[in-house]
Structure 1
Amino acid sequence: MRLKSIAVIAYGLLSVGFSTASYANLKDDIIQRGTLKCGVSSDKMGFSYINDQGKWAGMDVDYCRAVAAAVLGDPKKVEYITTTSKNRFTSLASGEIDILSRSTTWTVSRDAKLGADFTTIWFYDGQGFMTRKSLGIKSATELNGATFCLSPGTTSEHNLADYFGSRGLTYRSVVFEKTEELYAAYQKGRCDALTNDVTGLAARRTLFKDPNQHVILPEVISKEPLGPYVKQGDNEWRDVVTMVGNALIEAEELGVTQQNAAKLAKSSPKPKIKRLLGTEGSLGTDLGLKPDWALKAIEATGNYGEVFARNVGVNSPLKFERGANALYTNGGLMYSPPFR
């Protein structure tokens, strides 16, 4: 009996050890390290790419900058690590990156099977099709028998199979791991069409030699809620990354901007703004951050509307409409939980 009791105690101690390891505090490690490791794409204009000034830019990049500002007090303290559609979740699981901010779709299987947790919906998108205008195709159903250039391990690959299979249509595929190789092959005529998030297709088309010779078809065949992932098992880190995005959404709703945030933090009489900016309440402490964490994030990137306009909206070459990405008060789906 004594040996059995010792064995039970030992097992319990081991279990506690495993539990502690699986819920390691990444936030504190990042603070000690002084740098946030952010997994991104390198070539998706408007989301994560290197701009003409040789600097990282885009909505997904801004998310990491906001997290760095909230956690480290400085949006420049980010190390950007290029990932592919194939290795992105492996990079997250291995600890190579702290956050995957790469226009990645939230799905049940990814949350359940890949050791990753989704955080905030950062962009609502949907999958579409692009083909050469010279083919004269007006609808996706006319792509029966077409050859598609595809990336492995993406929701686009599975959605295409579902869409064509349910309609009795056939297609051939040519697979490329690297995005730049995929689009280069399409432009050389190795495939008839591309399928991806509509925003991704539109962004890539702007880089083609003659964008007007390529058409995006009218069908949108899927729901693609995009946003950052973190490694599963660290609830505090997931809360931090989730609430940084929500803080920028809440800031837009409350009229807090990059320009007026500091002033409002000192003078606003509104309780909602005070709680958001850390001059009232304990939200920062609750998250294990400084009281002004959200203020720092907003000062780094602006609110969600500013991030959208600068990278993909009216102030960008892409000129995307807000659509589903407008605030819920303006007919969209963007909605933050209460900051209280």
Structure 2
Amino acid sequence: MSGRLLFLLLPFVLLASACGDRDREAEDTRGDRAAPTAAGDDVSAPASPTLQAIKRRGRLNCGVHEGLVGFAFTDNRGQWRGFDVDFCRALAAAVLGDADAVRFVPLSNRDRLAAVRDGRVDVLWRNTSWTMTRDVSEGVAFGGVNYYDGQGFMVRRALNLTSATELNGARICVQGSSTSQLNLADWFRVRGLDYEPVVLPGEEEARQAYAREDCDAVTADVSALAAARTTLPNPEQHAILPDVISKEPLGPITRQGDETWTAVVRWTLNGLILAEELGVTQAVARSDDESRDPRARRLLGLDGEFGAMLGLDRDWARAAVAAGGHYGEIFERNVGADSPLDLARGLNAQWNAEPGGLMYALPIR
């Protein structure tokens, strides 16, 4: 090639080279963006130290209440029962394929979060409210909400009270170092009412003080008050006032820093909520059901590889539901109409029920 021809072509060569470089740069930039993963792809979850430890020991360590009727208590055979207990068993089934592979660790209000941070438990499933302080500065992570509660008051029917506003000047038993104590102070301050706080170290001590008539009322989450009432000598002589003075979203807690394990807990809970919405009962989960509903098929592990995204087996959600039923079955058996507490679903009803509640499962897809 002559020098003159090369000279004439040089600008075009340089232009083509620059365009190629820009194309490759754009391609590299697009490559940095994670493409959506199809359900059929061979995917696996990032390593989870907690999940690995659970699988090595063959057991889930689940923190629960020391003894709260309907939620976590031991029966006359020493077996753990209750709403939170059933979620622990569902999680063990999802992770290990065995609902009985659980060690229940009873924890006090004061010790519960430290037990999560220190690794004494893999998950805390105990009536603990999701607040900003706990979420941001306590070194723990919330996996969702499995019970929407609120703080109330229980009084003796003999007082003939119809509203908490009539408690002006009353002695009120409350658990110390709790959101209940803070909510109580806020509520009375806003209304310009006086009260005498009778602060006890724990829920059980507050209930016992109320039973001894050391106070005129006891305040706690409404679900805890309903449980406490069943333990009193004459439950019918006590009433829970209609006032609900706070929002208490209760849910499972894990350690911060192990996002994959938190995701396992979150999606197991969501799977149980979704199962109720889709009519996937315990009986269905234990059968050879081959649902035609694509949502149910994904939940049951018939389509997709969603278990692999969590480091679990394909049928993880089916195993969770088979352990003790879907969310509604767990609720009714332990705290609902089929239990001594007889609590209404209320806010804990499915979003599409009549009347609707706040239970809304994230989609598995």
Taking structure 2 as the reference length, what is the TM-score of the superposition?
A: 0.84
- Which of the numbers 319, 323, 332 marks the counterpart of 2:357? 332
| Corresponding residue SS for 1:82 | strand
The answer for the alignment partner of 1:17 in structure 2 is: none
Deviations 1:241-293 (A, max 9, x none): 0111100011111111111113355x222221111111210110011101011
The answer for the alignment partner of 1:278 in structure 2 is: 301
- Which of the numbers 169, 176, 181 marks the counterpart of 1:152? 176
Aligned residue identity for 2:83: M
Aligned residues: 317
Greater shift, 180-189 or 169-178, is seen at 169-178
Matched, 1:308 2:361: no
The answer for the alignment partner of 2:166 in structure 1 is: 142
Question: C-alpha distance in 1, partners of 2:59/2:118?
Answer: 17
Deviation (angstroms), 1:134: 2.4
The answer for the alignment partner of 1:3 in structure 2 is: none
- Which of the numbers 271, 276, 287 marks the counterpart of 1:247? 271
Question: C-alpha distance in 2, partners of 1:218/1:136?
Answer: 13
Deviation (angstroms), 1:24: 5.7
Q: Report if aligned partners of 2:140, 2:256 keep a CA contact under 8 Å in 1.
A: yes
- Which of the numbers 199, 204, 228 marks the counterpart of 1:175? 199
Deviation (angstroms), 1:152: 2.1
The answer for the alignment partner of 2:345 in structure 1 is: 322
The answer for the alignment partner of 1:225 in structure 2 is: 249
Question: C-alpha distance in 2, partners of 1:43/1:67?
Answer: 20
| Corresponding residue SS for 1:71 | helix
Deviation (angstroms), 1:137: 2.5
Matched, 1:263 2:301: no
| Corresponding residue SS for 2:319 | helix
| Corresponding residue SS for 2:282 | coil
The answer for the alignment partner of 1:15 in structure 2 is: none
Deviation (angstroms), 1:319: 1.7
Q: Report if aligned partners of 1:244, 1:294 keep a CA contact under 8 Å in 2.
A: yes
Question: C-alpha distance in 2, partners of 1:39/1:312?
Answer: 19
Question: C-alpha distance in 2, partners of 1:119/1:93?
Answer: 15
The answer for the alignment partner of 1:187 in structure 2 is: 211
Aligned residue runs from structure 1 range 50-199, under 5 A: 50-199=74-223
| Corresponding residue SS for 2:127 | strand
Q: Which is higher, the Rg of structure 1 or of structure 2? A: 2
Deviation (angstroms), 1:125: 1.1
| Corresponding residue SS for 2:283 | coil
Q: Report if aligned partners of 1:86, 1:152 keep a CA contact under 8 Å in 2.
A: no
| Corresponding residue SS for 1:172 | strand
Deviations 1:115-140 (A, max 9, x none): 11111210111111011222332221
Question: C-alpha distance in 1, partners of 2:240/2:287?
Answer: 44
Aligned residue identity for 1:227: G
- Which of the numbers 28, 32, 49 marks the counterpart of 2:56? 32
Aligned residue identity for 2:240: I
Question: C-alpha distance in 2, partners of 1:121/1:24?
Answer: 22
Sequence identity percentage: 49
Question: C-alpha distance in 1, partners of 2:288/2:149?
Answer: 33
Question: CA RMSD for the aligned pairs?
Answer: 1.4
Aligned residue identity for 2:210: Y
| Corresponding residue SS for 1:40 | strand
Deviation (angstroms), 1:173: 2.0
The answer for the alignment partner of 1:41 in structure 2 is: 65
Taking structure 1 as the reference length, what is the TM-score of the superposition?
A: 0.90
Q: Report if aligned partners of 1:84, 1:177 keep a CA contact under 8 Å in 2.
A: no
Deviations 1:282-312 (A, max 9, x none): 1100111010111111110100111011111
Q: Report if aligned partners of 2:48, 2:261 keep a CA contact under 8 Å in 1.
A: no
Question: C-alpha distance in 2, partners of 1:88/1:176?
Answer: 17
| Corresponding residue SS for 2:251 | strand
Aligned residue runs from structure 1 range 291-306, under 5 A: 291-306=314-329
Q: Report if aligned partners of 1:103, 1:227 keep a CA contact under 8 Å in 2.
A: yes
Q: Report if aligned partners of 1:257, 1:302 keep a CA contact under 8 Å in 2.
A: yes
Q: Report if aligned partners of 2:272, 2:321 keep a CA contact under 8 Å in 1.
A: yes
Deviation (angstroms), 1:35: 1.2
Deviation (angstroms), 1:51: 2.5
Q: Report if aligned partners of 1:264, 1:273 keep a CA contact under 8 Å in 2.
A: no
Greater shift, 86-95 or 230-239, is seen at 86-95
Question: C-alpha distance in 2, partners of 1:158/1:310?
Answer: 32
| Corresponding residue SS for 2:292 | coil
Deviations 1:9-53 (A, max 9, x none): xxxxxxxxxxxxxx9621111110111111111221111111244
Question: C-alpha distance in 1, partners of 2:316/2:216?
Answer: 48
| Corresponding residue SS for 1:102 | coil
